[in-house]
Amino acid sequence: MANAIDYLDWRGDIPLDFDGFNEVDGYIVCKLTSLDFTGIVPQEGSMPLRDALEAYFERYGDEDRRLGVLLAPGTVTMAKKMAASRRFGEVVIYDYINHVDDQNAEQFCALTASLSDGTYYVAFRGTDDTIAAWREDFNMSACDAVPAQLDAAEYLRRAAWRFDGRLRTGGHSKGGNLAVFAAMHAPMELQERILDIYNFDGPGFRYTVKDDPGYRRIRGKIRMVIPQHALVGVLLTNDSDYEIVESCKTGTAAHNGFTWQVLGRQFVRCGEFSLRTRVYTEAIRSWAGKLDLQQRQDLINAVFDALESTGARTLTDLTERKIRKALTAARDLLSDETERALFTESLEQFARSYISSARNEMPVINRFRRRHGSQD
């Protein structure tokens, strides 16, 4: 079946004013943030997408490449097709910002795209390959707000002040979380201007937000999509309604939205999460529920301090040997024997939770096998 890149072949010649913006368009536009336009698109200014891509190709080449261990190729191919299409060929990119702060565990990237239907799309990048970005992601489980979320709220407010008319916002992975957070904390008059909030397989929040007045005002505008083999969108507390979609890959590969199946103008829906995702979700929630916020933060700090002590700045820099060394160092970095015991216990507890969750699912598997006559 086809994906979002094939969608551009089908519908790229159909302008937005003839066939309106949809969820696949939302994914395509937000993925522009995966391209590094630093020094190309000004932080306070604009550049047509076609010109920005020409400069990008001169600097990095025009072939798809793996951008870190979890960012699969596909974005460059998508961008080429966007620039050649009637649907997105006239997009202008505004106010590109890409900021990584290792010391404060912050990674933030955003841009605003003007669309041919007269709207503006505020897009946020998901987690990149830097260790700082992954530390910030884990900090979401122990903090009410992390720096990237606060940056996203401020960026959305600035965009609304700068541009008149209706807005959309969205992102993939952490970018989807940032879009929801920014919209939730926007002034009421700005929230009224937002048409859609796209969250593509983004994690939730440390706490439930369903009773937050700002969230209640925008909840009906959130369009959340999670693949059937999800590992990210099921993390933390997610109060949004979501749609499960089919992916042609499993595991971490399913996080890549270019593996999600597309039919017509939407992703193909799926009835439920895969068995692996159900087991993983139950295990991670059971494990996290046994740690208080301070214990979570101590463990996060120990692990990531140890990872950084290896000299690695990105996940790509990490070798299996460095990871083993870092986990040993993490235990030693904890200040007392109680904390060191907690570190060891927490890893063992997660393993036990995973096994327990798998056993809970076994009756489901056995009933399925009996029903279909499996001999496995």
| 220 vs 292: which has the higher pLDDT | 220
Domain identity same for 254 and 350:
no
Residue 105's pLDDT is 80
In a domain, 376, yes or no: no
Domain identity same for 232 and 87:
yes
* Angstrom distances, CA of residue 76 to CA of 95, 174, 202, 366: 20, 20, 22, 44
Which one of 239, 273, 307 terminates a domain? 273
> Could you report the per-residue pLDDT of 64-110, keeping only the tens digit for each?
776 665 556 789 999 999 999 999 999 999 999 999 888 888 899 99
Domain identity same for 264 and 283:
no
> Could you report the per-residue pLDDT of 285-342, keeping only the tens digit for each?
777 777 788 877 777 777 777 777 788 777 677 666 666 666 666 666 565 565 556 5
Report the domain count for the chain. Answer: 2
Domain identity same for 172 and 301:
no
Which one of 222, 240, 273 terminates a domain? 273
Domain identity same for 252 and 132:
yes
Q: Is 70 exceeded by the pLDDT of residue 344?
A: no
CA dist 142 and 282 (Å) reads: 19
> Could you report the per-residue pLDDT of 31-58, keeping only the tens digit for each?
999 999 999 999 999 999 999 999 999 9
Provide mean pLDDT across the span 176-187.
Answer: 97
Q: What is the CATH number of the domain that holds 45?
A: 3.40.50
Provide mean pLDDT across the span 130-136.
Answer: 76
Provide mean pLDDT across the span 151-158.
Answer: 98
| 178 vs 286: which has the higher pLDDT | 178
Domain identity same for 231 and 315:
no
Which one of 251, 273, 295 terminates a domain? 273
Domain identity same for 70 and 118:
yes
Domain identity same for 208 and 228:
yes
Domain identity same for 170 and 247:
yes
Domain identity same for 16 and 127:
yes
Domain identity same for 262 and 325:
no
CA dist 291 and 47 (Å) reads: 47
* Residue range(s) defining the domain that contains residue 291: 279-371
Average of per-residue pLDDT values in the chain: 85
Residue 74: partners with Cβ closer than 8 Å, 6 or more residues away = 5, 64, 256, 258
Domain identity same for 300 and 226:
no
Q: Return the HEC string of the chain.
A: CECHHHHHHHHCCCCCCCCCCCHHHHHHHHHHHHCCCCCCCCCCCEEEHHHHHHHHHHHHCCCCCCCCCCCCCCHHHHHHHHHHCCCCCCCEEEEEEEEEECCCCEEEEEEEEECCCCCEEEEECCCCCEHHHHHHHHHCCCCCCCHHHHHHHHHHHHHHHHCCCCEEEEEECHHHHHHHHHHHCCCHHHHCCEEEEEEECCCCECCCCCCCHHHHHHHHHEEEEEECCCCCCCCCECCCCEEEECECCCHHHHHCHHHECEECCEECECCCCCHHHHHHHHHHHHHHCCCCHHHHHHHHHHHHHHHHHCCCCEHHHCCHHHHHHHHHHHHHHCCCHHHHHHHHHHHHHHHHHHHHHHHHHHHHHHHHHHHHCCCC
